[in-house]
Structure 1
């Protein structure tokens, strides 16, 4: 991957890549693997971008697909494991207790709801979220309200 491509096409969208990867991982090591794989897949698929959507939407879709694929692979690999890995101490993304609680709550959502709330937190309009998810904008509004209520219940119970 060229440095120019990373600086111009990935770095401006690194915030959403980080948020998505963080929402699908439980350790710094997994986070770094997911982030690196997402960047690699964005670079590999750049020639198939047809400009039917915004570049940021394309980046989001690829990152989400990478995270879902790696999550499924990890689930198969750790099928008999009953515990979550504790976050490593070196990464600041894992140090904020309130942020960790929020991510723990988000991880308990279904894969689709997780994707919807992450897009909403990035302040994407309902129409764009609907295009990414493959549904209608009014459906997104209803789902976001339900997701918020579900997150509130989880956070009020401190993710028990």
Structure 2
């Protein structure tokens, strides 16, 4: 934490600019790991704080987004574990009006169903799905999550089948 405090003004500006440019990563991860709007905002803020603390040690030889995803997912998974230990249950997604869904709302209902399936996945599996849906390469997913590319490919194939099965 001391490193971030001693950053130059230029380094602080650079961090702020890059954070603004890639803030979608924070929100995507927060939305994937927290259902309540307040929890999402808290998680996004915690991710930003951890990125700030880690910024001075960032290896510029590595892709910035890979580093950001790695930090964001580590924070999200840690927060999820803490919440799971505390709560020991899943909070249901917002289930508004699923019965009698018309064509205009069918896509939204399908998205909600997919979100519910993803929310039940283990943290690592959820991270894999998030990165896959972000169209990240298997190599980048491997680097972000610290698992082999072969493991990424195998897990993604199994997760796709599991999701298909659960969505019926």
TM over 0.5: yes
CA offsets 1:105-126 (integer angstroms, 9 cap, x no match):
1111121111111111111111
Please say if 1:128 is aligned against 2:140: yes
Please say if 1:145 is aligned against 2:157: yes
Correspondence for 2:22 = 13
Q: 2:55 aligns with which of 46, 50, 55?
A: 46
When residues 5 and 135 of structure 1 are mapped into structure 2, their CA distance, relative to the original with a 3 A threshold, is: closer
Local SS of the residue matching 1:56: helix
Larger radius of gyration: 2
Provide runs of 4+ in structure 1 moved above 4 Å: 1-4
When residues 42 and 31 of structure 1 are mapped into structure 2, their CA distance, relative to the original with a 3 A threshold, is: same
When residues 59 and 152 of structure 1 are mapped into structure 2, their CA distance, relative to the original with a 3 A threshold, is: same
Correspondence for 1:154 = 166
**2:66–2:143 Cα contact (<8 Å) kept:** no
Local SS of the residue matching 1:123: coil
1:43 is displaced (CA, Å) by 1.3
**2:30–2:43 Cα contact (<8 Å) kept:** yes
Give unpaired runs (5+ residues) of structure 1.
Answer: 90-95
Q: What is the TM-score when the length of structure 1 is the normalising length?
A: 0.79
TM alignment of 1:54-65, pairs within 5 A: 54-65=63-74
Q: CA RMSD in A?
A: 2.3
Please say if 1:67 is aligned against 2:76: yes
Local SS of the residue matching 2:62: coil
CA offsets 1:64-92 (integer angstroms, 9 cap, x no match):
1111111122122223xx561555x9xxx
